[in-house]
Chain A
């Protein structure tokens, strides 16, 4: 069926099976590179997108449930020329190895800090408790997120 999605500030009309997980619409119908299939089970975070202000696992979110909510993916934050401050913090901390998982840590942190700019360290840990990075760049990612959070509240 035809449906219209608002993704990264633009409207897109797609013809899809409404049970299709949002991930496939974003990556195949819209050709976005940010959200990636990691497990298809909502267990790792590689497919994370922000939908209506909340970080969701797009691999297990039916596209029909998105409605008119604004969808933001990693490419919706900034570009390598003009990265979003959170992306810039990841660059500054060199907080990546293979980089496959990055939608998880960056967008989970962004959704949290948009909602609660004064989020505690425990809140950040909680928001990333279901996010995996198998290169184990954890230390640098947390440092980048805190740097961004501190920069916003300072």
Chain B
């Protein structure tokens, strides 16, 4: 570690602010050089507050998750610094986690500094994704347990100090005092300020009961929004370090194209150019200024092999069925064919879901400083600890050399370009020996990101004479390639791949082995089956004869988790199909849902949404109409991953049969995600997710030609603008103060496709089974139905 003075002078403004917020002045720090530091040595404290420039890379040993000092530090003045491994992605988690720590530690929010995701100073909590942050940090483990441990440790210390039993003490507003005599108290700063706790996390530490919450559970305004609306907040895009250069990548022009040669002379003499960087098929240009790098990269003459060719997009869904696949049976009662054969009638349908992109509004950006004595990466990665390992692999260095510091990025909704651009910056910094910032071109972000998976889903059910479902058969084909790089697969994203690493292996497997436990993660099985595997019901439905079989094939494009991965595609198919079945048996779709469900919480959100929407019990579709604009209503619901939140949605739409335009007028969302940490934050997530779902349902689809992706900007990949049609969104929150915390970032989006499709059916009598429901598709479907005389 370098001397404190040098490292501090090199802090970014935000690092300095965090440093000051943590209770230390620069002068105080330099003077004290360790003595003033509460719970860490001078060197590790400097690391903890996020200085970074020029210092050595990562700490060799990591941050031990079982030690209280890894999570909570208390300064002499009583200020608390907490360290979390789950980061703010725009979902409001920073504020919710701050509320959690303040609540458990009984301090006002203003006395807390929360530092997130830095490999040198925060615990490794894996990836911030998959609606898992609340389950991880707000239940009986993680940050909640650490904060509760800290409170109990403080009470114990106070018991010794005040010479009273712990039972007579209570922690309130940053002090521990006698329950009977508030004047006898001792502050947290007095108890541990200047020292470490030096204890393990107490696995039995008790969370505060939710009835006592005064900060958690309240609609605390987000702590970061004032800084966001005034541009005081630092994004990774704003990170500027001394001596920093700017890089621009040159990606292959076609899928499968590899580098033949680069003619560096083609940009000779262009202003500011520092270096052309080549590694396998990775090509980048480094220049003094970003505009210089962009212009030089555009002029650089590069020869590539032809691409390997792409399947025709028309017909690509059928093509998926023909490829070698890895097969997985999620559930199989073994009697589906027999039950179908004996059913009063059989209903079948096939649903199609396209490749979609994360499409972050800001293209991805990272800053890397690769030196012989250490590597520092600023990235908006969802997993800084994993990125540490893969960055080391890409650079041919060791993991301990690398420090990755999270800085907020443009909303990602899953794996956007945040990791891949970190590799871009690292490769270029390594080549030039100076810090390099890279922000991807829009086309490079869009053409090479890890898309959400395309799906073909065949559904089949048998119903008995009373209209009850007696057997449900699901079979799906989806395509995947690469994914999150994790700790060891840099080839799972574009830059690692062009730099010479392969994506994680694909191993076909047919037939599938029998399931050994019910896997609910992807909502592969519909909510209406019981999900019985190994004698245990893993599902929330009544249908006993059940089969769900998936075929995973290899994708030509990189894929990865996109907001509610697979759960969304499956829910579209399940909830659309349920509506088709209800129509077939002449049942009201809401009543028909609850008839096949066992889970009361799911039924409760269904009933709440129906009630709030004023759902009128009747059959779909509405009678044939020749009005200029048709109106309809649709419903959909889901138990996300069976037990990670419950949602129901009623949608009102308008359809113009002559243009095919669909306008969503109103959405009612009822959701239950356990105990609510922040009602307004939860509402913001549910609203945003629902609207994101409208855009994905009506507009979004990755397109390609025979060589390359053609959806490369906002003219070729469509997103509803802020000035577009905005539905009236009503949210009904069901709080479960005594329940376990669940994720809610994916809750509302999963049901939108089916709710809209079902509403279009109600309005027009036309069933759309392929997303997106573009005006062309809607218009063509209505015209076909009218020509055939079915409407």
Contact = CB atoms under 8 A, between A and B. Distances in A.
Interface string B77-108: 00000000000011110000000000000000
A103 B688 contact: no
A53 B230 CA distance: 19
Contacts of A140: 684, 687
B691 A139 contact: yes
B291 interface: yes
Contacts of B292: 17
Nearest to A122: B723
A40 B712 CA distance: 12
Interface string A90-119: 110010111111111110000000000000
* Most-contacted residue by chain A among B234, B690, B726 (CB, 10 A): B726
Interface string B713-739: 111000111111010010000000000
Interface in A52-99: 73-75, 77-80, 83, 87, 90-91, 94, 96-99
Contact of A20 (B89, B224, B291, B687): B291
By DSSP majority rule, is chain A's interface helix, strand, loop, or mixed? loop
Contacts of B228: 96, 99, 102
B722 A131 contact: yes
B721 A75 contact: no
A29 B264 CA distance: 27
Contacts of A99: 90, 224-225, 228-229, 233, 408
Given A39-B442, A39-B713, A77 B230 contact: yes
A43 B711 CA distance: 14
A104 B238 CA distance: 17
Contact of B226 (A27, A38, A91, A125): A91
B290 interface: yes
A99 B694 CA distance: 20
Nearest to B437: A28
B135 interface: no
A147 interface: no
Nearest to A128: B723
Interface in B219-242: 221-222, 224-235, 237-238, 240
B722 A142 contact: yes
Contacts of B439: 37
Interface string A18-33: 0111001001100111
A151 interface: no
* Most-contacted residue by chain A among B227, B233, B291, B722 (CB, 10 A): B722
Given A99-B225, A100-B361, A134 B715 contact: no
Interface in B227-266: 227-235, 237-238, 240, 246
B232 A38 contact: no
Given A36-B235, A38-B363, A77-B230, A134 B221 contact: no
Contact of A134 (B92, B290, B360, B365): B360
Contacts of B361: 38, 44, 46, 98, 100-101, 132-134
B90 A97 contact: yes
By DSSP majority rule, is chain B's interface helix, strand, loop, or mixed? loop
B555 interface: no
* Most-contacted residue by chain B among A33, A78, A90, A97 (CB, 10 A): A97
Contacts of B408: 98-99
Contacts of B685: 97
B410 interface: yes
B451 interface: no
A33 B238 contact: yes
Contacts of B238: 27, 33
Interface in B579-599: none
Contact of B714 (A43, A129, A137): A43
Nearest to B694: A136
A141 B714 contact: no
B362 A36 contact: yes
B306 to A, nearest CB: 28
Given A100-B411, A128-B721, A138 B726 contact: yes
A103 B231 contact: yes
A125 B439 CA distance: 30
Given A24-B291, A74-B229, A98 B237 contact: no
A24 B722 contact: no
Contact of A39 (B234, B365, B714): B714
B231 A137 contact: no
Contacts of B235: 33, 36, 100
A127 interface: yes
Nearest to A101: B361
A70 to B, nearest CB: 17
* Most-contacted residue by chain A among B229, B246, B681 (CB, 10 A): B229
A79 B230 contact: yes
Nearest to B719: A132
B290 A28 contact: yes
Contacts of B221: 91, 94
A110 B411 CA distance: 24
Interface string B435-471: 0000101100000000000000000000000000000
Contacts of B687: 136-137, 139-140
B714 A37 contact: no
B309 interface: no
B232 to A, nearest CB: 5
A79 B232 contact: yes
B724 A129 contact: yes
B413 interface: yes
Contacts of A75: 230-232
Contacts of B660: none
A138 B720 contact: yes
A3 interface: no
Contacts of A24: 289-291
A37 B715 CA distance: 17
A97 B692 CA distance: 12
Contacts of A40: 363, 441-442
Nearest to B359: A134
Contacts of B233: 33, 99
B222 A96 contact: yes
B232 A33 contact: yes
* Most-contacted residue by chain A among B231, B271, B439, B688 (CB, 10 A): B231
A43 B712 CA distance: 12
Given A17-B271, A100-B410, A132-B722, 12 more contacts: A33-B231, A33-B235, A80-B226, A87-B226, A87-B229, A91-B226, A94-B221, A97-B684, A98-B89, A100-B409, A136-B688, A141-B722
Interface of B: 89-92, 221-222, 224-235, 237-238, 240, 246, 271, 289-292, 359-363, 365, 408-411, 413, 439, 441-442, 680-681, 684-685, 687-692, 694-695, 713-715, 719-724, 726, 729
In the A-B complex, the 6 residue pairs with the closest CB atoms = A98-B90, A99-B228, A128-B723, A98-B411, A136-B691, A34-B231
10 contacts: A28-B289, A33-B233, A36-B237, A43-B714, A87-B230, A98-B361, A98-B409, A98-B410, A125-B724, A128-B721
